[in-house]
A and B are shown apart, each in its own frame.
Chain A
Amino acid sequence: MRHLLRQPLLWFVVIGILLFGADSFFSVDRSEIYVTVAMQERLGTLWQTQTGQVASAAELDSLVNNWVREEVLYQEALRLGLDQEDSIIRRRLVQKLGFIAESDPTTAPETATLQAYFQSNIEAYTLPLRYSFRQLYFQSIDDAQRALQQIGEGADASRLGETSMLNAAYAYRSGLDLNASFGAGFADRLSGLDPGEWQGPVRSGFGQHLVLLTAIHPAEIAPFASVQTRVALDYQQAQRENARAQYTDKLLDQYTITVEPR
């Protein structure tokens, strides 16, 4: 018996039972609300943003007090499960968790990673058919035809044409760009021309043009260096989407899901 009384484990158990009994007799189970200095500072900053004034010590005490009173209500609402049936809270929480799941990595992706992503998504970095050309603008078709004739007789094309807001030369412009700059149908009309000599008149939304097509660039894959910035943005976006999908998949693994038959 004396041997038994010297066992620390026994004393631990006995005292534990006594304390537990006393605690449940004298008090209720209290949850803790611990207001960190960081949280108090945050309340102070919010106050300053809203009022433009630095919170005084008294104001800060009052802010903390209000926050605590709100927090106990919030905890009670959670305890009662009021969050469970509310689709606003559900949507908000899902959105927040989504942002966490897809939060950006702190290090920039390696160039090799981007190159691999570029290769496996090559269609997104394929440039459409484009045109490079010089153009001369004329209000009237007669003037355009006369100028074409003069060029044929050896006149210097750069001295012909009327001034306009259009450029004298365009490089690597897609059909969409040209229809925006010259009016619908202009790209189609260019596609019928042969490179290398002044031709026209070609009609646009502004008037008539003589066009020297310098090159037709077939659809091609953009050089990696020219699109690296875009690749990086696309890669990060894909990473975010992947992270979110994977995170959801992992969570799904923890559930058995039964959809009640209709």
Chain B
Amino acid sequence: MPTLIRLFPLLLILAACSDDTPSQQLAAEPAPDAVTATAPATNPEFNAQRNAYFGDLHVHTMYSFDAFIFGTTASPDDAYEFAKGGSITHPAGFEMKLDVPLDFYAVTDHAFYLGMLREMADPATEISRHEVAEGIATLGDAADRGTKFRRILAFLRSGRAGEISDPEIMKTAWDDIVAAANRHNDPGNFTAFIAYEYTSSTDESGNLHRNVIFRDDIAPALPFSRLDSQNPEGLWQWMDDNRAAGIESLSIPHNSNGSNGSMFMLTDWSGRPLDSAYASQRMRNEPLVEITQVKGTSDTHPALSPNDEWADFEIMPFRVATRLPSKVEGSYVREAYLNGLKMQAEQGFNPYQFGVIGSSDTHNATSAGDEDDYWSKVGLMDADGIRRGSVPLPQPRANGELYADTYYNTWGASGLAGVWAEENTRAAIYDAFRRKETFGTSGPRMKVRFFAGHDLPQLDDSDMLANAYAGGVAMGSDLIGDASQQPSFIAWVAKDPNGPPLQRVQIIKGWVEAGEAMEQVFDVACSDGGVVDPVSNRCPDNGARVNLEDCSISADLGASELKASWQDPNYDAAQHAFYYVRAIANPTCRWSTWDAIRAGVAPRADLAATIQERVWSSPIWISPSQ
């Protein structure tokens, strides 16, 4: 003990020196092409026409308050090892491993109460004696964990949330998160981003969650959390300040579907109409949105897009972590694009000109798994078919219901983030985020290329990609219209070599006409020799079906690749418009059907038995010619 006391002044001085500078635990990155420039590379080389890289930008570990309650013990280190091809044991005992490792990964633990539940579970800590920590050291079955999870959430929303927030605990966890990302980042082979989740919500439980991704190996001393401000504008201000101090980051909203209309509002936090200052600050900090994840897909909703036959896809109808219905208006990506376009046309600014990615939001430190090997995302809470409502309970509930009383049946095995980048480094992938040359998938590693321009090459051009980049713009970009000529588009999609075949490629258009925002879905390429009907703009049914006895799919139907050179039959050079690609795979069994078949029971009648996996590109925006 005397030794420790003598050591203290030294520790305090050193601590004081190290705390006011950003965490910087690893030497600067090496020149990105140092490894790949020489001959026996093991990975795709630097490619000026860009390679597709796949990753997950939404991963929780034991440091997240809820993941800890759900039984997750995997650390950030374990999470990055998993992404590189390692395995993690699920709290329920089974192994989780990827068939193909990922190219990039970001651990995004909740900033508020970061690392604190672990400390509450340790009876030797002061915080374990706080009333809200009661029983955290003795987490029991799923019901017990659910009760304690809801108690922490209620405390968080009670106005007393700051009472137990301990910066020392959070700093310990944050330093470990930063160090793990820097340690696992391997330029040329694997990219690990320093990141976290800003977990805010409105007072009505409207979800405002965002993941903050840092470009480099430095990060602020502590992340900005909902305890600093519930208002996302506060987060953006903090990011602007960091940027001025040399720390670059971007923020990616997710689960707009569960935001109760508050993710893509037409007013700011204080209720004022949006203006150009709001739009530029939001776009400076939020170039991307997570369009799909385990808790549902946020492309559009059948109520918003009644003429889109594929709109009813993995709809999660609740406000996040509640059973309250989430208001549809203001909660979906396509509607936000339309509202943004309208503001652009009428007022000259657009706060919703973002690109898209998918990610999982796993709380198991792993991704979501596949439809046929689904891990869902909340540890012991949804570890098997019975608990996630796809397989009947051993005994019906008192009210006669056969299935567990849960909303996990509205969740799905989604999603992935895709980028087009020259090489697998933090700088190249982060630049792709900034360019919005990104796409999201519902899980499979489908690739989509999308170009627009006035001088695009033919599809069979031997140097098609180079000429497309030279003669047009890629997804995520703006194109200025030309009154004298129509722009053309190239949409090109490849299936996942280990996933289902493609059925059709679509271009989704939004535009403003006579003050009204309009949308239309055009099929542009069909599998199996189908030809788009010029009136309905639809491919014929390719007849692909699923055998629900064993989940086998129609052999020899669907395509490995589909591509189209397309012009908008209704193009008007005087209008503002956006276009994005959605490609649809042949139907396959949904995870809930796999669960039922394996349990030897019939698939649950009120759930979709099959799904059509899909990929969404970021849009290209075309502005009027003058």
A associates with B: yes
Residues on A facing B (Cβ under 8 Å): 39, 42, 45-46, 49, 52, 78, 84-89, 91-93, 95-97, 99-100, 104, 127-128, 130, 139, 163-165, 171-174, 176-177, 179-184, 186, 204-207, 217, 220, 222-223, 225-230, 232-233, 236-237, 254
- Smallest CB gap from B171: residue in A: A92
Distance between Cα atoms of A100 and B26 in the complex (Å): 13
Q: A46, B35: Cβ atoms under 8 Å?
A: no
> Are B16 and A206 interface neighbours, CB within 8 A?
no
Among the listed B5, B44, B186, B498, which residue makes an inter-chain contact with A183, where contact means beta carbons less than 8 Å apart? B498
Q: What is the minimal beta-carbon distance from A90 to any residue of chain B, in angstroms?
A: 8
Residues from chain B with a CB closer than 8 A to the CB of A52 are 237, 241
Chain B residues in 8 Å Cβ range of A46: 20
Take A88-B127, A229-B30 as given contacts and tell me if A95 and B561 are in contact as well, using a CB distance cutoff of 8 Å. no
Sorted nearest first, the 9 A-B pairs with minimum C-beta distance are A205-B497, A183-B497, A226-B38, A206-B560, A229-B30, A229-B34, A87-B124, A180-B100, A165-B494
Known A172-B40, A179-B100: A88·B560 in contact at CB below 8 Å: no
Which listed residue (A45, A89, A228, A236) contacts B34, Cβ 8 A? A228
**CB-based contact A42/B43 at 8 Å:** no
Question: Cβ of A180: which chain B residues have Cβ within 8 Å of it?
Answer: 100-101, 497
Q: Quick one: given A39-B16, A88-B126, A205-B498, are A127 and B40 in contact (CB under 8 Å)?
A: yes
- Beyond the given A205-B499, A206-B495, please list 17 additional residue pairs across the A-B interface where CB-CB is below 8 A: A42-B20, A86-B124, A87-B124, A89-B168, A95-B176, A96-B14, A96-B15, A165-B561, A177-B44, A180-B497, A184-B99, A217-B40, A226-B39, A227-B35, A228-B34, A229-B34, A254-B3
Docked complex: B59-95 residues within 8 A CB-CB of A: 85
Within 8 A of A (CB), among B457-508: 459-460, 464, 492, 494-499
Kindly identify which residue among A93, A99, A165, A182 contacts B25, using a CB–CB cutoff of 8 Å.
Answer: A99
Decide if B265 is an interface residue (CB 8 Å cutoff): no
With A and B bound together, what is the CA distance between A174 and B85 in angstroms? 14
Minimum CB–CB distance from B30 to chain A (whole Å) comes to 4
* Bound-state Cα–Cα, A138 to B119, Å: 58
Interface string of B102-124 (1 = CB under 8 A from A): 00000000000000000100101
CB distance from B490 to the nearest CB of A (A): 12
14 examples of A-B residue contacts, CB within 8 angstroms: A78-B8, A86-B124, A88-B166, A96-B11, A127-B42, A163-B464, A172-B39, A182-B497, A205-B560, A207-B560, A217-B40, A220-B40, A225-B38, A233-B30
Nearest A residue (CB) for B124: A87
* Contact indicator A84/B497 (Cβ below 8 Å): no
The answer on a CB contact under 8 Å between A130 and B40 is yes
Please give, as numbers and ranges, the residues of chain A lying within 8 Å of B171 by CB-CB distance: 92
In the bound complex, residues from chain A placing their C-beta under 8 Å from that of B187 are 229
Chief secondary structure at chain B's binding surface: loop
Question: Which residue of the partner chain, among A49, A100, A139, A220, contacts B14 with CB atoms under 8 Å?
Answer: A100
B11 touches A93 (CB 8 A): yes
Contact A226/B35 with A84-B1, A206-B560, A254-B3 known, Cβ cut-off 8 Å: yes
Given A229-B31, A233-B30, A205:B40 Cβ within 8 A: no
CA distance A37 to B215 in the complex (A): 33
> Which single residue of chain A is at the shortest CB-CB distance from B465?
A165
- B18 interface contact, C-beta 8 A: yes
The chain A residue with its CB closest to the CB of B493 is A165
Contact B20 A45, beta carbon cutoff 8 Å = yes
CA distance A114 to B26 in the complex (A): 17
Assess the A139–B560 pair: CB atoms within 8 A: yes
Known: A130-B42, A165-B561, A177-B42. A92 touches B172 (CB 8 A): yes
Residues facing A in B133-192 (CB within 8 A) are 166, 168-169, 171-172, 175-176, 183, 186-187
* B14 CB contacts on chain A under 8 angstroms: 96, 100
Q: Is the CB of A49 within 8 A of B35?
A: no
Q: Which residues of A contact B166 (CB under 8 A)?
A: 88
How many of chain B's residues have a CB under 8 angstroms from any CB in A? 61
Q: Which residue of A lies closest to B85 (CB)?
A: A176
- The answer to the question of B277 belonging to the interface, with a C-beta cut-off of 8 Å to chain A, is no
**A85 CA / B126 CA spacing, docked (Å):** 9
Assess whether B399 is interfacial by the CB under 8 Å rule: no
Distance in angstroms between the alpha carbons of A225 and B101 in the assembled complex: 26
Bound CA span A93–B447, Å: 47
Q: Is A88 in contact with B495, judged by CB distance below 8 angstroms?
A: no
> Do B496 and A205 touch across chains, with their CB atoms under 8 A apart?
yes
Instruction: Closest B residue to A220 by CB, please name it.
Output: B40
Tell whether, in the assembled complex, residue B15 and residue A204 are in contact, meaning their CB atoms are under 8 Å apart.
Answer: no
Q: CB-CB < 8 A to B85: which residues of A?
A: 176
Residues of chain A within 8 A (CB-CB) of B168 are: 88-89, 92
Give, as a whole number of angstroms, the nearest-CB distance from A137 to chain B.
8
Q: Complex Cα distance A78/B4, Å?
A: 11
Minimum CB distance partner of A181 in chain B: B497
- Is the pair B25, A206 in contact by a Cβ cutoff of 8 Å? no
For residue B41, CB closer than 8 A to chain A, the reply is yes
What residue in chain A is nearest B4 (Cβ atoms)?
A: A84
Is A177 in contact with B241, judged by CB distance below 8 angstroms? no
Interface centre among A85, A104, A165 (most CB of B within 10 A): A165
| B187 (CB) vs chain A CBs: closest residue | A229
CA distance A114 to B543 in the complex (A): 60
Complex Cα gap A229–B497 (Å) = 32
Contact status of A206 and B30, CB under 8 A, knowing A87-B124, A226-B39: no
Instruction: Report Cα–Cα, A87/B42, bound state, in Å.
Output: 45
B125 close to chain A: CB less than 8 A: yes
Asked if A174 contacts B172 (CB within 8 A), the reply is: no
The contact string, 1 if C-beta is below 8 Å from chain A, for chain B 361-402, is 000000000000000000000000000000000000000000
A225: chain B residues at CB < 8 Å are: 38
Q: Out of B1, B31, B38, B459, which one reaches A223, CB within 8 Å?
A: B38
User: What's the nearest-Cβ distance from chain A to residue B182, in Å?
Assistant: 10
Closest to B45 in A: A171
Chain B residues with CB under 8 A of A49: 241
Whether B27 is near chain A, meaning CB under 8 Å from some CB there, is: yes
Docked complex Cα distance between A228 and B36 (Å): 11
Contact A99 B18 (CB under 8 A): yes
